[in-house]
A and B are shown apart, each in its own frame.
Chain A
Amino acid sequence: MSAVRVSDWLLRGTFGLFVGLLVAVPLAALIVTGLSAGPAAVLRAVADPMARDAIGRTLWTAAVMAVVNAVMGTATAWVLVRYRFPGRGALSALVDLPFAIPTLVTGLMLVLLFGPQEPVGAWLSTHGVPVAFGSAGIVLALTFVTLPFVVRAVEPVLQQLDPDEEAAAETLGASRALIVRRVILPAIAPAISYGALQAFGRALGEFGSIVVISGNIPFQTLTAPVLIYGEVEAGQPGVAAAVSVVLLALALGLFAITRRLRGRLRGTDA
């Protein structure tokens, strides 16, 4: 390699400074403030019943959504990769929509569909499934927002499957179901996990769609990000920061795992 020059360091320095100021400094401020009253204070803030409930809700709604996405996202990827049908291109594009559309608009659309004044929403409400102002609404919003993750992770892996492996299993006597279970699924499982974990991590921080559809009712539909917002508005940045630290730890932990998985996925090819 050629000798390292001053211009190289100039480039690195510029970018490093930019990222440092933009990302590292605020992040540090958040963590330091959150921990400033000591770890005990963090635990106390998190142990507060409302906070505990909100964090719990954030976790389980994200988990439910991750499972739904893992199953249906894989099914969607399968349909998009293995079949040809009119409108396939449009459907494929539509799957990417959640990445393009503002989360607030998503929430608004869901309210229009499932709000208590709407025909669909009212009907569901009387049948015990209050979508708006209920946890079902949160799960639905999260599913919309993270829809592309699993589909995009699984699609390329499905495309690269060797059709001869399935043919070989057929000649060895396997039924279609067995082929799916023992030849195909193990091959795409890492991609499904990767997509689902990404979706889960994203869902932990979701704000825009939930704040509109859930009603933000403490102990019923309050999630952690909305709680943090509430604390900031109420002039309690310290509490907000403490809860943030917990959420951040979760998010960064997940992020580290998915980074590892991505490395492993990239290098998977016999």
Chain B
Amino acid sequence: MGIRVEHLTKRFGAFTALDDVGFEVNAGELVALLGPSGGGKSTILRIIAGLDQPDSGAVYLDGERVDSVPANQREVGFVFQHYALFRHMTVAQNVEFGLHVQKVPKAERRERVAELLQLVGLAGLEQRRPAQLSGGQRQRVALARALAPRPRLLLLDEPFAAVDAKVREELRDWVRRLHEQVHLTSVFVTHDQEEAFALADRVVIVREGCVEQVGTPLEIMDRPCSEFVARFIGEANVYAASVAAGAARVGSVSIALSGAPAAGPARVVVRSYDLKLWADADGPVRISRMVPLGDRVRVEGLIDGEHPVVAYFPRRSSLLHGLEPGCRAAIEVTLARAYPCSNGTGATHVERS
């Protein structure tokens, strides 16, 4: 069951939450809406579910326009950030609620509830109340509840944001496996780039109400279409420089640029793993800090005493020989992209994941 949204626009007073948002989700796909907080991702989700109405634009589910269909008839499963479990009902009553609405007979309801609780790994907890469950358990009940009435698609609004870090990882893996089993078209909202890339088939990047880029994780990583996306995804070194003949200078270092960038002022983006540093007494880089991070080492330095550079090396890398804080190093950039500066936007403040 595919989803298509077109030209969605929504304003709250003077504030524009969504500005001409459009994208498609193919049947059976797991798509992430990724972007910084407050960017409108949750609003899009709620509009698809029918919980909010756009000022203009259209929503199509499986090719049919559903704008005038009320939320309680769209057959959409929704999992809320803070679970929204019915606090005065037991787990079983929560899960069977949708079936109860569909007037499914009691025996069948009970069977389905058992089936679902088994699916989410909470068999035996039917009579518990939400207050007696952990965050991870509550989220799984919310999932079971949303899936019980056999929805046509599944929407998840920052489903792991309210859960502990360790549990978050487990839930993530578990949701991915579930999706591979069930292949229900799903859209989930997150501000965590790592999470989006780990789970989704494709990612839609949303910033301040606009769609920045749509693509598979690999596509976005390798070919970010704007400076914002390049900075948002993974760690990057960004420099202001002038492009001339397909290269740019940062201090005394010349960097070859991929693609065919136009000449002129631009931002140059170099990923932390797309460059090499090695000890060299005449090198332009002075190492300022080396931080061991388990299986990696983070190396920070300054090019020509002015431009910061960050690189990551595996712990046992031979390149680390001789590198230590205070020493000089040479630098080689293997991949860099340039984005022309648009007027006045300057640097964006962005969340690094």
In the complex they form, whether A and B have CB atoms below 8 Å apart is answered with: yes
Tell me the A residues contacting B by CB distance below 8 Å. 162, 164-165, 167-175, 178, 182-183, 186-187, 270
Total count of chain B residues near the partner, CB < 8 A: 32
Which residue of chain A has the shortest Cβ distance to B132 in the bound complex? A270
* CB neighbours of B149 from chain A (8 A): 172-173
Q: A167-B51, A187-B88, A270-B131 are in contact. Are A173 and B98 (CB under 8 A)?
A: yes
Contacting pair A178 B129 (CB below 8 A): no
For the complex, is B78 an interface residue (Cβ under 8 Å from A)? yes
Contacting pair A171 B88 (CB below 8 A): no
* CB neighbours of B75 from chain A (8 A): 173
Which residue of chain A has the shortest Cβ distance to B130 in the bound complex? A270
The smallest beta-carbon distance between A90 and chain B, in angstroms, is 26
For the complex, is B239 an interface residue (Cβ under 8 Å from A)? no
* CB neighbours of A186 from chain B (8 A): 88-89
Question: A-B pairs with the 8 shortest C-beta distances?
Answer: A164-B84, A172-B98, A270-B87, A270-B131, A171-B78, A173-B101, A168-B84, A170-B71
CA distance A187 to B130 in the complex (A): 14
A sample of 14 more A-B contacts (CB under 8 A), given A171-B76, A182-B97, is A162-B82, A164-B81, A167-B71, A167-B84, A168-B84, A171-B72, A171-B77, A172-B146, A172-B149, A178-B101, A187-B88, A270-B129, A270-B130, A270-B131
For the complex, is B80 an interface residue (Cβ under 8 Å from A)? yes
User: Per-residue CB proximity of B55-96 to A under 8 Å, as 1/0?
Assistant: 000000000000000011111111011101111110000000
CA distance A186 to B86 in the complex (A): 10
For the complex, is B236 an interface residue (Cβ under 8 Å from A)? no
A selection of 23 A-B contacts at a CB cut-off of 8 Å is A162-B84, A162-B87, A164-B84, A165-B87, A167-B46, A167-B78, A168-B80, A168-B142, A171-B74, A171-B146, A172-B101, A172-B149, A173-B72, A173-B73, A173-B75, A173-B102, A175-B72, A178-B101, A182-B86, A182-B97, A186-B88, A186-B89, A270-B87
CA distance A182 to B72 in the complex (A): 15
The smallest beta-carbon distance between A158 and chain B, in angstroms, is 14
* CB neighbours of B247 from chain A (8 A): none
Contacting pair A165 B51 (CB below 8 A): no
Please classify the interface of chain A as helix (H, G, I), strand (E, B), loop, or mixed, using the class held by over half of its residues.
Answer: helix
Which residue of chain A has the shortest Cβ distance to B138 in the bound complex? A270
User: Per-residue CB proximity of B126-142 to A under 8 Å, as 1/0?
Assistant: 00011100000000001
Pick the residue among A171, A173, A175, A183 that contacts B86 (CB under 8 A). Answer: A183
* CB neighbours of A171 from chain B (8 A): 49-51, 71-72, 74, 76-78, 146
For the complex, is B145 an interface residue (Cβ under 8 Å from A)? yes
Which residue of chain B has the shortest Cβ distance to A164 in the bound complex? B84
* CB neighbours of A183 from chain B (8 A): 86
Which residue of chain B has the shortest Cβ distance to A165 in the bound complex? B84
CA distance A167 to B72 in the complex (A): 9
* CB neighbours of A164 from chain B (8 A): 80-82, 84
Which residue of chain A has the shortest Cβ distance to B74 in the bound complex? A171
* CB neighbours of A174 from chain B (8 A): 72, 97, 101
* CB neighbours of B89 from chain A (8 A): 186
